[in-house]
Structures are given as C-alpha cells and as structure tokens.
Amino acid sequence: MDTSIRKALKAELPIIRRLALDIWPATYSSILSQEQLAYMLELFYSDPVLEKDFDKPGYSFFLLEQEGKDTGFAGLELKEDQTAHLHKIYLSPDHQGKGLGKKMIQFIIDFAKNAGAHSLTLHVNRYNKALQFYQAVGFEIIKELDTEIGNGYLMNDYVMKKDL
C-alpha cells in the first residue's frame, strides 16, 4: 500500500475543499441537519476561508495520498506558547479502518513535536464516532465546549488534549 503525507501547497486548497465536500456528509449526516451541514461546509471550507487559514502564521495543511489519490487532509496550527491545535483531520470513509488515520495522526504528532510543541489539542463533536479513535491514540477529554457559529447553530464539542 503506497501511502504518503505531504504539506499542502496553496494551489492544492481546492483538493482540500473537494475532500471536505465528499467526507463531511458521510461523517456528519447522522449528527447534523442538511442545512447545518451545508452552512458549516461553507463556513469552514469556502475558498476565501481556506486561503485565510493557509496564510495564518503557524498554520499548515497536509494531504494524505493513498495509491496516487488524495484521500485525507489535516489542518494544524502551531502556536507561540509551544502548543499545537489540530483544526481539521479527515479521511475518506472508504479508506477508514485501514490504519491510515493512525498514520496521519502520528505524522501530525511528530510534526508538532519537531516544531517544539509540548501538547496537541483538538475539538471533536461529542457524537462523532472519531471520539473513540482519539482516545485510543492517547487524547483525553479536558472539557466540553458549546460554540455558537451563527444562523442559530451550535457546535457541541469535546476539547481533547495529548501531551507530546
């Protein structure tokens, strides 16, 4: 199985948007309404938002390639206080359960650690099945967080942390 992870170039942001549009419905359709799903995809994955994230100091996107096809992505922010925050990590549903998620999270952990981060945090929807995955790779729930995102929608997340 030929797998690689690379830092994404700005010209590859459309790949990340396409992956999000493919992955999010499979991930969230049982948790969110179609209206909220569409709203959040535009809120987090429109071209201007992805470009703004890309240009943010300390922010990097990564693409996972499997057998020559982009099948997953991540967005990581290194902070000045020697912490890192994983904003996004998604893998195409047909590539889940094959160890690729573990490979991807380990790559992110190593990248953050090599950049001097002492901890890695992430937010996960409280009803997302990925919660068990994060716990299995050493993340711990440190708090619950409800965030208003506009249009009357709330994100109901756990904040998780892993010491590096």
| Per-residue pLDDT of the chain in tens (164 residues, 90 and over written 9) | 689 999 999 999 999 999 999 999 999 999 999 999 999 999 999 999 999 999 999 999 999 999 899 999 999 999 999 999 999 999 998 888 889 999 999 999 999 999 999 999 999 999 998 999 999 999 999 999 999 999 999 999 999 999 99
pTM listed for this prediction: 0.95
How many residues comprise the chain? 164
Picking from 160, 114, 120, the residue whose alpha carbon sits closest to that of residue 140 is 160
Domains recognised in the chain with CATH numbers: 3-163 (3.40.630.30)
d(Cα 27, Cα 25) in Å, to the nearest integer?
Answer: 5
**Sequence letter at residue 115:** A
State phi, psi for 134 to the nearest 5 degrees.
Answer: -65, -40
Place of tokens 């809120």: 43
CB neighbourhood size of 10 (10 A): 10
